[in-house]
Amino acid sequence: MKSKTTINTQGGNVTKKELQLFKNEIIQQFHIISEGLMDQIKLLAEGNAGIIQHLAQIQEENKNEHSETRALIKISFSQLDRRISDLESQMKEVQEWKKQVQVRFQV
């Protein structure tokens, strides 16, 4: 007759074979859980990669829009500068004309 090695626990006697089976079951469950976690981590990594790509795209669009806006502002300033120069020139002409008129009427 074979004798089983038993261990006393609070719930009763447990054999080494039962402990080994329990250990193997825990290890198997751990592997299942860890595989699930790895899949979730991969999904998170893919999501992060997508977010990073989207942010890079937005950054590039903002850069292009900023350049376009600067170009439009530069054109607007150039046009305003030209208009101011024209007005200054016209003002000088008016002042010269005014002086000529004053000289004519004072004589």
DSSP structure class, residue 3? P
Contacts of 4 (CB under 8 A, 6+ apart): 15, 16, 17
Contact by Cβ (8 Å): 7, 13: yes
Task: For 62-92, write each residue's pLDDT tens digit.
Answer: 999 999 999 999 999 999 999 999 999 999 9
* Dist CA 34 CA 30 (whole Å): 6
pLDDT category at 13 given cuts 50, 70, 90 is: confident
| Domain extent listing, the chain | 6-81
Predicted structure pTM score: 0.53
Which H or E run includes 13? strand 12-15
Task: For 24-55, write each residue's pLDDT tens digit.
Answer: 999 999 999 999 999 999 999 999 999 999 99
DSSP structure class, residue 107? -
